[in-house]
């Protein structure tokens, strides 16, 4: 029964129900690039036990006495290079908002009872207020969709943790569905492949090598049972097959490591340097683990790794953007959401 049809006893508190919420979630972003904004963001992010599994007795002094004293300034400068000056926010926030707006338009044709909202695991807009906004509009069922194609405890699981913490404070909880990873979803693989074809068709050169660079994680997380590495490998294999490329033409690497521990290999920066020194003159990089361009793609891949390649003899370098809120990207999001809403609409 929709909320327009619900009949309540006299004097009953107002009740809104009958709507279906879709909450899309991404990793997060600082509110600004100044020291204190960056510090707040990094403290929340690096205090998460899902992200840093090191013993608190060891990690807390390192985080508070070393990292948070120096890293906010450095990362703030990095963010400045890719900041959306027009809206005074990161492009990750801009793109995620656009994804939510476009998804709402697409799902509106499916049912007028669907409400779409968006949130970040770290920073703003936060998850709990987003859930409260959906419930205030009558959403008694909510699909939570983390925009990470490959599952990892440090991404998907921590977003879900935060969602569940919000539910723990609510007397009347909505019914929740959690969308699974979509690392091998045909619509996702086909969209990635088409984005590669479209981008390369506009170039005046053909890359000798294409790197599929995924965000890294400590190797110990893999050994503890995290499925992330395996899902990345499957995505890379399916993409390679879809494009009809040999393993030495489309390679899988991992980026964004920090600290002394061994991370998933091969490392992106070391691979880029080795390829250039080996004589590769033309290369392309894409980032299949990211649904939206952000610091790790715009500054690290298109900036830092471009400099590594060109500084070691490479001549032609191109970065293939994420799917973002493009038609291809929105087709993927809509495909997953509509599948996971079956039985509710």
Q: Which residues are annotated as a binding site?
A: 215, 296
Which residues make Cβ contacts (< 8 Å) with residue 124, sequence separation at least 6? Answer: 31
Q: Annotated binding residues for Fe(2+), as ranges?
A: 215, 296
| Count of beta carbons in the 10 Å neighbourhood of residue 151 | 18
Q: Give me 276's structure tokens.
A: 């250039």
Nearest Cα residue to 183 out of 214, 225, 222: 214
Tokens encoding 244: 């009809």
Query: How, if at all, do strands 250-255 and 282-286 pair?
Result: unpaired
Of residues 172, 174, 176, 167, the one with CA closest to residue 145:
176
Do residues 26 and 96 touch, judged by C-beta distance below 8 A?
yes
Q: How far is CA 249 from CA 206, 236, 285, in A?
A: 11, 12, 11
Distance CA 213, CA 178 (A): 26
Q: How far apart are CA 173 and CA 22, in angstroms?
A: 15
Distance, in Å, from the CA atom of 7 to the CA atom of 276, rounded to the nearest integer, reads 71
CA 104 from centre of chain:
19
Backbone dihedral angles phi then psi of residue 54, each to the nearest 5 degrees:
-60, 150
């Amino acid at each position: 029964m929709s909320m327009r049809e619900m009949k309540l006893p006299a004097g009953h508190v107002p009740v809104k129900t009958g709507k279906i919420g879709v909450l899309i979630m991404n990793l997060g972003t600082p509110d600004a690039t100044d020291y204190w904004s960056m510090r707040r963001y990094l403290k929340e992010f690096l205090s998460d036990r899902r992200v840093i599994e090191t013993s608190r007795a060891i990690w807390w002094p390192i985080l508070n006495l070393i990292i948070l004293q120096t890293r906010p300034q450095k990362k703030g400068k990095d963010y400045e290079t890719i900041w959306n000056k027009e809206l005074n926010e990161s492009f990750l926030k801009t793109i995620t908002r656009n994804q939510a707006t476009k998804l709402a338009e697409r799902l509106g044709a499916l049912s007028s009872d669907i409400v779409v909202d968006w949130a970040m695991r770290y920073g703003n807009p936060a998850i709990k207020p987003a859930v409260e906004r959906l419930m205030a509009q009558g959403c008694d069922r909510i699909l939570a969709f983390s925009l990470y194609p490959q599952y990892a405890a440090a991404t998907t699981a921590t977003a879900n943790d935060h969602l569940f913490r919000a539910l723990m404070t609510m007397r009347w909880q909505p019914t929740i569905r959690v969308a699974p990873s979509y690392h091998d979803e045909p619509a996702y693989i086909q969209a990635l492949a088409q984005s590669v074809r479209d981008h390369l068709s506009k170039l005046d050169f053909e890359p000798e090598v294409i790197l599929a660079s995924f965000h890294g994680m400590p190797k110990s997380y893999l050994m503890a049972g995290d499925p992330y590495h395996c899902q990345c490998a499957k995505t890379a294999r399916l993409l390679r097959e879809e494009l009809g490329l040999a393993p030495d033409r489309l390679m899988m690497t991992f980026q964004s490591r920090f600290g002394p521990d061994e991370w998933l290999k091969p490392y992106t920066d070391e691979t880029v340097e080795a390829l250039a020194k080996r004589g590769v003159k033309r290369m392309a990089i894409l980032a299949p683990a990211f649904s939206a361009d952000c610091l790790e793609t715009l500054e690290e891949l298109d900036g830092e790794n471009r400099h590594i390649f060109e500084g070691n003899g490479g001549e032609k370098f191109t970065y293939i953007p994420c799917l973002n809120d493009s038609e291809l990207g929105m087709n993927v999001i809509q495909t997953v959401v509509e599948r996971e809403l079956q039985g509710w609409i």
